[in-house]
Every structure is written in C-alpha cells, then in structure tokens.
Amino acid sequence: MQGNRVIGEAAIRAGCRFYAGYPITPQNELTEYMAEHMRKVKGGVFIQAESELAAINMVLGASAAGARAMTSSSSPGISLKQEGISSLAADELPAVIVNIMRGGPGLGNILPSQGDYFQATRGGGHGDYRTIVLAPASVQELADLTMDAFDLADRYRNPVLLLADGMMGQMMEPVEFRAPSPRQYREEYILRGKGTGKSRFIRALILDAIRMEEHNWKLYRKYQVIAEEEVRFETFWTDDAEILIVAYGTAARIAKGAIKRSREMGIAVGLIRPITLWPFPGEVIRRFAEEVGSFLVFEMNTGQMLEDVKLALEGRARVDFYGRPGGVIPTPAELAKVIAYQVKR
Amino acid sequence: MKKVFSRPRTLKDVPFHYCSGCGHSITHRLIAEVIDELGIADRTIGIPPAGCAVIAYNYFDIDMLEAPHGRGCAVATGMKRVLPDRIIFSYQGDGDLAAIGTAETFHAANRGENITVLFINNAVYGMTGGQMAPTTLLGQTSTTTPPGRTAVLDGHPVHFSEVLATLAGAVYVERCAVNSPANIARAKRAIRKAFQYQMQDRGFSLVEILSQCPTNWKMRPTDACRWVDEVMTKEFPLGVIKDLQAKG
C-alpha cells in the first residue's frame, strides 16, 4: 500500500473524524484517500479547504469541539499552517499535522527532501512552543506512528507533526494495521456549549505579562515531561561500531544500505536513527560517545539535525556531515564511499 | 415593583472595556438578548476575533473559542461540522473579515456553512489605533491614510456583504446599524433572523453592523452616531441584501 494512503487509513482507524486539506504534491494521495474514505465512517468530516491557513484553522475548531482532527501538506503548505499550529500549541489543543517534505526553500520542487527539520523541531511558528515530531522510515512505521501521533496529541494536548518526505509518501510496501488503543483524554477542555454547566472559553491572547509568563512556563513544564517520557530511537549495528551514522527517515534507510556495504568491506559502522526528532535523543547519542569517537550525520539537507547532534555531543567526539539537499536522493553506494573516506581520514 | 428592563442572562455582570459610544457593546447586548429569547445559551458557541472584541468571552456567558485573526469562519466551520446541532456564530470586524479573512469568509459562505456571522463595520482598525480598513471611506483620514483614503493609492471601500450575497451558499445577508433606537431594533430583528436560519439548517447567514468608533473617528459619540447616518450609510446602504426565505 502506498505511504500517503497508509497515513490516511491509519488515521481513520485511529479514530480521526475530521480532516481538512489543500492540494499539494507529493501528498495528494492522502487528501484524496480521506476524501474517499472519511465519508464512509460515521461522523467523518472531509473538507477540501480554500487554503492551508483555512485547513489548519478548521482543524483548530474541530479539535476544540472534541474531534480527533488532522491536516496534511507538503513543505510550502506547512509554512502557511504555522499560524494555526502556534495557536493549537497556545490553546493546548490536540491535532495531527502531516508534512510530506519536498525540496525548498520557496516553491522548490516536488522531490523528497528533509529541509524542514529546523521548522519542525523548533516549534515552526511564532512564540515559545514545541511540537512532538515523529519521523517514520518505512510504510509500516507510517501506519504505526500515525496512530501514535493521535495518542500523543491527546495525552499532552499538543499538536504532533508526522514528518516524512516525498519518498515515504510515494513508496509502496506491505503494511499491517494494528488495533488502535482506546482514546484517552480528559473531556474538560472540549467546547460543546455550556449545557447546564458553567460557560468556558479557549483563548491564546493573554494581555497580562505575568499571566502570559505563567502560561509559557506551564507549556515549558509540559515539554519537559514530553522530553523525559517520549524520546524514541532505533539503533542498528551499533555494538562494535567505531563510527556511527545519525540519520532519520529516508536518509536512515539509505544509511542502512550503506552500512551493509561498508560492513562487507570490513568497516565497523552503525546507525542511530532518531524516531522522535523532538524530543531529540541527545542523551542516547551522548552515551554512545563514551565508546565511539566519530559520528557522521547524514541528512537530505545542508545540515540541520547536525546542530542537535553537536549540541548533544558537546565536543565529546568528532562530528562530520554528509548531505544532499534540494530533492536529490543519494544512493547507499554513494554514502558507503563517504563512510570509507571518513574512516581513512 | 415590576421589573421591565434587566441585563440579558447571557451577558455576564462585567463592565465592558469598550470606549464610550462604541457600537460593540450595543451589538453584544443584542446578541445576548437574542440568545436568551431563542433559549439557546446552553448550545451556542461564539468565535471572537482578534480586534477590539477579542475578549468577548469576558462578557458572554456561553462557550467561546478565540480564532486567530481573520480565521473566524474557518474555525466556525470546523466546530459546526463536528457539532452540527450546536449554534455557532463568528463575531468579526471589517479588517478581520474583509481583509485578512477574505478567503475564509468567502469560502465558508460559498460552501453554505450553516453558521452565523456578525460583521462589525466601523470603517477603521480600532484595536490597533485607527489604521485604514478595507471599508474606510474615500477621503476618510486614518493613521495610514493621513490625507484621506484615495482610490488611486488605497483602493475603494469594500462592499463585502454584497460580494457574499452573490454566492449560492449565502442565504441571508443584511446590513444594519446601531446608531439610533430604531436602527438598534432593526439590527436585533436581523440578528434573530440570522440565528433562526441557522437553527433551521438553512446555511450561511451574515449581519453587517455599521458600528460607530468615536475614539478613532475622533468625534463625540453623538457626532459619530450622526456620521453613520449622514456619511457611512451613503456608501453602505442599510437593508436586506439577500434573503432566500421566500424560496424556503
């Protein structure tokens, strides 16, 4: 099944009942899947919005009304959604936002890229906030992490980004959908009309500086809990490694191919694959630096996660970088050459 | 003694922060009266905008969800589609609705979203200190049109209610004012009709309110009320712009 469609199916199985989106390549199959299948489920709403701005703000309204809500786009469209993502974070509303990244900046192209790492992991919009960022590296993981994204969004009442690229969205692999876990959330934030109770409101505007500061610290404390509880990563062939690659998503798949080739040539190389890009598995990388003196960060950009790896290592080990931005998909053979060169140095 | 006048139950016992002579407080009261009279306070959700009315949730005793600037109709769309049996209204100023929120408003109307919009037209950006709005009149001075708005440099006043009325999804569009007892009574009837249409699942309804802003117009409140009649209604005539009731 194709990656984009898998995200749609996983979302519906996870109980997503509101989707608003706007056409943009390379994620259109997801919007189209939702258009076809959301109508078939009870209470399911699909809206083709007039813009990315409208789509994310529809999601805001649907989320406040209690629905599991999602929108999706690709890089330029995600830039437009940042207003709403910032508002969702401020309002502490759950939502899932899918970014099937393409080459940038600007309109760029429609080829796979990882150029939006900074935007995704640093909040993305204005203000002092974070979003949980999940980076799948297989179609199976697209299914699993889409379901997890809804659970995490509910658990922390925070927007969650599924950050993949055009390669992940377009590729076809076998997939098994697991049974979704029952939705767990506290009813109290949802607005359904006051009924017989007291009226409530959700707002992001807090004019008083001290109260705004309190809200910022409250969000900060939540992010601290997320950072402690939700870090995810995979290690691959790390046991005897003398050099470790750090890569995520499509780049991590390429890295695995390169590692197999390098191992055949007798090079002891392994992989750390962050699955959550925020919170970032910096502690894990730092621990590896006790055994390994050389790290190679590999991204489909000019070096963004590189900064997080350097921050994690704080000079404890050598860090090199290899990247191909702009929609170029490097081959495992190409990366294996880079690894071999790295070892000789 | 018989009580003949009191605060609507849907208005909290909180003094308005609005300036003397401002049309917002009158309009808030009309909405609250209509919600009380229709008996829908328990199932109505309001969407306040960015602008002077941003803290409307301090005044209305109903659930409210603040929208980012201009996005009221998109937020209302999301809510209404999830909660089709609730009454959802968006309250927006001229800049919010007819400048930054043009697309969201236009397309919500075109989809015939079953929501109600209160469109406060005071021909100026009030909250930010009196800049030119899309509805600022030609010749009208503002902090960003110091010599007065000119068509050549600044464009013409936008008649957005008339634009929305061309869309098939919009079932009811009326322009009112709150500058005199007679106009206030008419405005209340329009607001009630707009909410009733939503309760009858008819589609998109909008009431534009010409609203005096004495502070930014730099007028006394009485002069501002007169200016609505003598100047503003010449550009923005009062009355029903569209009403599909006859077609049922």
Q: Which pLDDT does position B92 carry in this prediction?
A: 98
Residue among A61, A63, A193 minimizing CB distance to B77:
A61
Please provide the DSSP assignment of B41-70 as one string.
GGGEEEE--SSTTTTGGGTBSSEEEPPPTT
**Residue in A19, A46, A50 to test binding to B, most B beta-carbons within 10 Å:** A50
Q: Which pLDDT does position B46 carry in this prediction?
A: 98
Domains of chain A in start order, with CATH, are 3-229 (3.40.50.970), 234-344 (3.40.50.920)
Minimal CA separation from B169 to chain A, in Å: 15
Residues of B in contact with A57 (CB under 8 A): 67-68, 71, 74-75, 78, 104
Q: How far apart are CA B190 and CA B178, in angstroms?
A: 12
Q: Are strands A95-101 and A233-236 parallel, antiparallel or unpaired?
A: unpaired
Minimal CA separation from A64 to chain B, in Å: 7
8 Å CB contact of A193 and B62: yes
Residue A137 in this model has a pLDDT that exceeds 60: yes
Give the number of beta-carbon pairs within 8 Å between A and B. Answer: 139
Interface residues from chain B to A (CB-CB < 8 Å): 41-45, 47-48, 50, 54-55, 57, 60-68, 71, 74-83, 86-87, 103-104, 106-107, 111
8 Å CB contact of A192 and B83: yes
What token pair was written down for B96? Answer: 């919010």
Residue in chain B lying closest to A69 (CA):
B78
Residues of A in contact with B50 (CB under 8 A): 205
- Say which CATH number the domain at B206 has: 3.40.50.970
How confident is the model over B112-167, as pLDDT tens digits? 999 999 999 999 999 999 999 999 999 999 999 999 999 999 999 999 999 999 99
What token pair was written down for B139? Answer: 């010749």
Compute the average pLDDT of residues A133-143: 98
Minimal CA separation from A232 to chain B, in Å: 32
How confident is the model over B211-229, as pLDDT tens digits? 999 999 999 999 999 999 9
Q: Which pLDDT does position A83 carry in this prediction?
A: 98
What token pair was written down for B163? Answer: 């634009």
Q: Is residue B32 part of a domain?
A: yes
Q: How far apart are CA A128 and CA A244, in angstroms?
A: 33
B173: alpha, beta or left, given left = phi > 0 and alpha = psi -120 to 50? Answer: beta
**Band of the pLDDT at A342, cuts 50, 70, 90?**
confident
Residues of B in contact with A83 (CB under 8 A): 68, 71
Are the CB atoms for B66 and A204 separated by under 8 Å? yes
Q: Which pLDDT does position B248 carry in this prediction?
A: 47
Q: How far apart are CA B241 and CA B237, in angstroms?
A: 9
Q: How far apart are CA A155 and CA A158, in angstroms?
A: 8
What token pair was written down for A1? Answer: 């099944």
8 Å CB contact of B77 and A59: no
Residue among A53, A63, A194 minimizing CB distance to B71:
A53
Minimal CA separation from B145 to chain A, in Å: 28
The number of distinct structural domains making up chain B is 1
Cis ω for the linkage preceding A26 (within 30 of 0): yes
Q: Is residue B62 part of a domain?
A: yes
Q: Is residue B239 part of a domain?
A: yes
Residues of B in contact with A67 (CB under 8 A): 82
Q: Is residue B121 part of a domain?
A: yes
Q: What is the Cα Rg of chain A in Å?
A: 20
How confident is the model over A156-177, as pLDDT tens digits? 999 999 999 999 999 999 999 9
Interchain CB contact of A203 with B (< 8 Å): yes
Q: Is residue B5 part of a domain?
A: no
CA B151 to chain centre: 25
Q: Is residue B9 part of a domain?
A: no
Q: Is residue B232 part of a domain?
A: yes
Residues of B in contact with A199 (CB under 8 A): 60-64
Residue among B42, B63, B67 minimizing CB distance to A57:
B67
- Phi/psi at A291 (nearest 5 deg)? -110, -30
Q: Which pLDDT does position B246 carry in this prediction?
A: 55
Q: Is residue B15 part of a domain?
A: no
Q: Which amino acid is at B19?
A: C
Q: How far apart are CA A220 and CA A215, in angstroms?
A: 9
Compute the average pLDDT of residues A182-209: 95
Please provide the DSSP assignment of A113-161 as one string.
--TTHHHHHT-SSSSS---EEE---SHHHHHHHHHHHHHHHHHHTSEEE
**Band of the pLDDT at B1, cuts 50, 70, 90?**
confident
Residues of B in contact with A53 (CB under 8 A): 71, 74, 103-104
Q: How far apart are CA B73 and CA B109, in angstroms?
A: 9
A window 71-130, beta carbon within 8 A of B: 83-84, 87, 91
Residue in chain B lying closest to A85 (CA):
B68
Residues of B in contact with A201 (CB under 8 A): 57, 63-66
Q: How far is CA B181 from CA A324, B178, B232, in A?
A: 69, 8, 17
**Residue in B59, B81, B86, B199 to test binding to A, most A beta-carbons within 10 Å:** B81
**Band of the pLDDT at A344, cuts 50, 70, 90?**
confident
Residue in chain A lying closest to B109 (CA):
A50
Percentage above 90 pLDDT, chain A: 98
Q: Which pLDDT does position A343 carry in this prediction?
A: 86
What token pair was written down for B140? Answer: 């009208």
Residue among A50, A196, A199 minimizing CB distance to B61:
A199
Cross-strand partners of B91: B118
Q: Which pLDDT does position B247 carry in this prediction?
A: 53
Range of the structural domain that residue B96 is part of: 23-247
Q: How far apart are CA B204 and CA A22, in angstroms?
A: 22
Residue in chain B lying closest to A201 (CA):
B64
Residues of A in contact with B78 (CB under 8 A): 18, 20, 57-65, 69
Q: Are strands A68-73 and A95-101 parallel, antiparallel or unpaired?
A: parallel
Kindly provide the residue ranges of all beta strands, DSSP E only, lying in chain A, ordered along the sequence. Answer: 16-21, 45-48, 68-73, 95-101, 132-134, 159-165, 201-202, 233-236, 243-246, 269-274, 276-278, 294-299, 318-323
Q: How far apart are CA B210 and CA B119, in angstroms?
A: 9
Q: How far is CA B19 from CA A228, B215, B219, in A?
A: 49, 7, 12
What token pair was written down for A274? Answer: 């962050």
8 Å CB contact of A205 and B71: no
8 Å CB contact of A205 and B54: yes
